[in-house]
Structure 1
Amino acid sequence: MLAVTQTNLRTNINQLLENVSRNDDTLVVTRSRRENVVIISEAEYNSWQETNYLMKNEINRKTLSESLSSNNRGEGNVLTLEEWEKMNC
């Protein structure tokens, strides 16, 4: 995460936005006497939106939690793309 002032952002906007986009960096723009602003890549934003959507539903939260617990106990099963497609046909 990188923090810059509004002045620095204006001066270096192309380079700073390129770093955010290319490296999934988070950019915090500090503003005097006002709330700071955070700039993230569209990919990062979309990922957060998807996570928020999935976590809104109690059944999804429970299923995801159980799946992670199972995987952490070594009970997970990694499928190839072909195996996954066979299961979902």
Structure 2
Amino acid sequence: MIGDEEAIGTILNRLRRAHGQLAGVIGMIEDGRDCKDVVTQLAAVSRALDRAGFKIVATGLRECLDEDAKTGNESLDVEQLEKLFLALA
């Protein structure tokens, strides 16, 4: 996957935070909390997951480009990049 240890740490922290937030949302629903509060927390979970996904794509892209430059391989084409980013949109 991703070789950059700092990026891996950042991604894992974001995913762990999202995991905790999602557990909180489940608890809020079970406790019958106000819809507005639940939706606000669910939106925070969604943003955390999006940020983790974008970090994965950005880090992977950087590594792919670096590796392709070193080996002389052809880089990802625009269509492949577009598919990666649209998967998160």
TM range (shorter): under 0.3
Bigger radius of gyration: 1
Q: Which structure carries more strand by proportion?
A: 1
TM-score (norm 2): 0.27
TM-score (norm 1): 0.27
